[in-house]
Amino acid sequence: MRLGIIAEIHANLPALEAALEALRKEGVEQVLAVGDIVGYGPHPRQVIRRLDREGIPCVPGAADLRVAYALPAPPREGIAETTIIWTREQLGQRELHFLRNLRSRHRYDTPGGRLMAFHGSPEDPENKIDLNEAHPQEILKMLDSIRSRYAVVAGKHIPFRRVVHKGVVFDPGSVGLSLGGEPGADVLILEDDIHGEVIHRFLKLPYDYGQVTFDLAAWELPEVLAEVVRQGRFPQ
């Protein structure tokens, strides 16, 4: 198995294209997108159509569900709610249908054990697990609840891996809105080693930041998003 994991695309088409091209060169057998597909970025329709055309399995994130269903949840603070409303206005029925028909989890069976991928937490994509701060027993309880040895948990926009006893959890970071302090698209590659264990590699990929920042400005989306794209973090 050689699996490419992308997450937090956030409607950034140049970043998605860079990630898919890199994974093609790496010879991955399958690509999985673990939400958020849209929100914040200027290319929601194009990103959804590209994923659909490629036949890439996708898990919805919280932003995807808020866009797809106009959920009666408390409004998000700051720029998030603004961009969610704008995103919904850009999508047609084809794109909304795509978002509404995503599975909440994806499972892979590896020689070393089951792998489950989801956004936020197994029960709720809005409820993000802090993989760095969580008590080991909390991680083990989560893995036990999904009957898996490995978990891919998107949500923090920063690549991360944690081992707890025999369990392993990964956050693939963010393709379109990375917050690790370095600009670029984050990609995670998982594959089996000769002993049947899952090994990993994180990639950081450059892309056309200028095109994204130009399109953000053209659509009059919040200026801070261009700074995040250029810097890989929110301005201090």
Q: What is the mean pLDDT of each run of 10 residues along the chain (236 residues)?
A: 96 99 97 96 98 97 92 66 93 97 94 95 88 92 96 96 96 97 98 87 98 97 96 90
Distance CA 187, CA 126 (A): 22
Quick check: 9 and 36 in contact, CB under 8 A? Answer: yes
Q: What is the phi/psi pair of residue 123, to 5°? A: -95, -25
pLDDT at residue 53, rounded to an integer: 97
Quick check: 225 and 234 in contact, CB under 8 A? Answer: no
Q: What is the phi/psi pair of residue 119, to 5°? A: -110, 130
Return the H-helix or E-strand segment holding 64.
helix 62-69
pLDDT at residue 75, rounded to an integer: 59
Distance CA 72, CA 202 (A): 36
Q: Which two tokens stand for residue 121?
A: 């937490």
pLDDT at residue 148, rounded to an integer: 97
pLDDT at residue 129, rounded to an integer: 85
Distance CA 192, CA 110 (A): 8
The pTM (predicted TM-score) of the whole model is 0.94
| Cα-to-chain-centroid distance, residue 70 | 20
pLDDT at residue 77, rounded to an integer: 61
pLDDT at residue 11, rounded to an integer: 99
Q: What is the phi/psi pair of residue 4, to 5°? A: -95, 125
Q: What is the phi/psi pair of residue 225, to 5°? A: -65, -35
Quick check: 158 and 178 in contact, CB under 8 A? Answer: yes
Superfamily holding 2-105+170-231:
Metallo-dependent phosphatases (3.60.21.10)
pLDDT at residue 76, rounded to an integer: 60
Q: Pick the closest to residue 151 from 136, 162, 137 (CA basis).
A: 162
pLDDT at residue 48, rounded to an integer: 99
Give how far Cα 49 sits from Cα of 12, 55, 95, 97, 135, Å: 12, 10, 7, 11, 39
Q: What is the dihedral of CA 206, 212, 213, 217, to 10 degrees?
A: 180
The 10 Å Cβ neighbour count of residue 236 is 4
Q: What are the residue ranges spanned by the domains of the chain?
A: 2-105+170-231
Distance CA 97, CA 150 (A): 30
pLDDT at residue 23, rounded to an integer: 98
